[in-house]
Homo-oligomer: A and B are copies of this chain.
Amino acid sequence: MIPTTKIYLPESEMPTHWYNVAADLPNPPAPYCAPDGTPVPPEAMLAIFPEEILKQEMSAERWIPIPEPVREALTMWRPSPLYRAHRLEKMLGTPAKIYYKNEAVSPAGSHKPNSAVPQAYYNRQAGIRRLTTETGAGQWGSSLALAGQMFGIDVRIYMVKISYEQKPYRRSMMTTWGAEVFPSPTDMTNAGRAVLAADPNSNGSLGIAISEAVEEAASRADTNYALGSVLNHVLLHQTIIGLEAKKQLAIAGDYPDMVFAPCGGGSNFGGIAFPFLADNATGKQVRLVAVEPSSCPSLTKGVYTYDFGDTAGLTPMMKMYTLGHNFMPPGIHAGGLRYHGASALVSQLYHEKLIEATSVGQLETFAAGVLFAKSEGIVPAPESCHAIAAMIREAKACAKTGEAKTLLFNLSGHGHFDMTSYDRYLQGELTDFDYPEEAIKASLADLPSFAKV
């Protein structure tokens, strides 16, 4: 009798509602603020987001219905399979039971389309036919390109120039799905022109690309903006991952002791972890672990205060664990999750000790990715490798204690477009890098006075 590897959920069993963790927070979420410390009302963001998205951003309802056209669009790849990692367990010699949710099966290769699809839908419902966004390596940009195609929305993507030049394959993918892609900084926005005036050879950064996309959306009535992580509504859309996982674990007759997910902006972690937090509110005790790179350690080494979402300071300020919006991850860092802060929801939960966080160096990260590829086959995205590495630590601990814990992690994406990072690792070109405390203090220095730490 061959043990079951993949647990599928029929399309008819796909969740009908997203789970909104804001309903189960012990304390109300901190409001968004202007640089003078006064709260920013949601209406202020109507220039770039549709009303329905803003409602979700501010909602305190526990369950928010997923519109039927969104559910139908998601069946393109959802429900995603849950895997029991028999082969990895064997290779680790652990009594732990390891499960992973495979979000790499989406056409864009990651969990990102889970939010791109509803964002495109709500914008289209609001009469919007054009969206702008930014992308670094391209996971979010390709997801929005796909979603825009599904709902008849034109998508313009500002792609960080160095990625545009060095990682052309994701750009090709976005173009194949019909999106426009420009290397940022461009000369099409004030933000871009200002950067180019100071440095015509700028390689660009995620912060600059966000500023360009937001500026264009704010200045054109026919155009909105879409963000791939950090914001509450994005994390809300991603909870479909954890909700499905719970149903699939029930089919397997199991329930996790610990859940691991990579954490950059937070959509990946929030997506799989929040639905289990709902169970903790009713008596369960699942440990939820956000895993971040030691070279970009916002939760484990950052400060909990108000900061901007982008480099140029065009976004409202959010209360979050941050390394400072001028933070630049070191060039040696190859594993993604480069955002300077963590989402407000993840940050608050961490501050209130309802979730845990840990950091992993990149050598351990890629070693975990290679071990996973050799046992389970799938070459994981470098982001996903962070969760795998932290989970492996626990599985090895179980091997010592003999405990048969049930461990779940989010395989957020595949690494097909990240093979250069694997190459660098396999050729010994990578080293670990712990982001120094002094550099964090320095990058936090220019916060507005009300947010000073």
A377 interfacial by beta-carbon distance below 8 Å: yes
Cα distance A424–B5 when bound, in Å?
Answer: 39
- Per-residue B-contact encoding for A173-184, CB less than 8 Å = 1, 0 else: 101111000000
Cα distance A422–B76 when bound, in Å?
Answer: 22
Chain A interface size, as a band, is 35 or more
Residue of B11, B87, B108 touching A6 (CB-CB under 8 A): B11
A210 → chain B, closest Cβ, in Å? Answer: 25
Cα distance A227–B103 when bound, in Å?
Answer: 32
Within 8 Å CB of A87, what residues of B?
Answer: 76
Do the beta carbons of B2 and A168 come within 8 Å of each other?
no
A220 interfacial by beta-carbon distance below 8 Å: no
A374 interfacial by beta-carbon distance below 8 Å: yes
A105 interfacial by beta-carbon distance below 8 Å: yes
A324 interfacial by beta-carbon distance below 8 Å: no
A8 interfacial by beta-carbon distance below 8 Å: yes
A219 interfacial by beta-carbon distance below 8 Å: no
A419 interfacial by beta-carbon distance below 8 Å: yes
Within 8 Å CB of A76, what residues of B?
Answer: 5, 87, 376-377
Do the beta carbons of B172 and A423 come within 8 Å of each other?
yes
A371 → chain B, closest Cβ, in Å? Answer: 10
Given known contacts A376-B76, A377-B77, A172 and B2 CB-to-CB distance under 8 angstroms = no
Within 8 Å CB of A173, what residues of B?
Answer: 379, 416, 419, 422
A75 interfacial by beta-carbon distance below 8 Å: yes
Within 8 Å CB of A373, what residues of B?
Answer: 107, 176-177
Within 8 Å CB of A370, what residues of B?
Answer: 176
Within 8 Å CB of A417, what residues of B?
Answer: 416
Do the beta carbons of B72 and A176 come within 8 Å of each other?
no
Chain B residue with Cβ nearest A81: B8
Residue of B105, B149, B172, B177 touching A420 (CB-CB under 8 A): B172
A334 → chain B, closest Cβ, in Å? Answer: 13
Query: In residues 267-296 of chain A, which contact B (Cβ within 8 Å)?
Result: none
A324 → chain B, closest Cβ, in Å? Answer: 34
Given known contacts A373-B177, A416-B169, A8 and B5 CB-to-CB distance under 8 angstroms = no
Residue of B2, B172, B426 touching A68 (CB-CB under 8 A): B2
Within 8 Å CB of A377, what residues of B?
Answer: 76-77, 106-108, 146, 150
Cα distance A110–B68 when bound, in Å?
Answer: 32
- Per-residue B-contact encoding for A139-160, CB less than 8 Å = 1, 0 else: 0000000100110000000000
Cα distance A175–B150 when bound, in Å?
Answer: 36
A4 interfacial by beta-carbon distance below 8 Å: yes
A309 interfacial by beta-carbon distance below 8 Å: no
Chain B residue with Cβ nearest A9: B8
Do the beta carbons of B422 and A176 come within 8 Å of each other?
yes
A123 → chain B, closest Cβ, in Å? Answer: 19
Within 8 Å CB of A169, what residues of B?
Answer: 169, 416, 419-420
Residue of B75, B374, B378 touching A2 (CB-CB under 8 A): B75
Cα distance A177–B12 when bound, in Å?
Answer: 36
Cα distance A102–B108 when bound, in Å?
Answer: 15
Do the beta carbons of B109 and A176 come within 8 Å of each other?
no
Do the beta carbons of B75 and A426 come within 8 Å of each other?
no
A81 → chain B, closest Cβ, in Å? Answer: 9
Shortest beta-carbon contacts, A-B, top 7: A107-B377, A172-B419, A169-B419, A416-B416, A5-B75, A2-B72, A172-B423
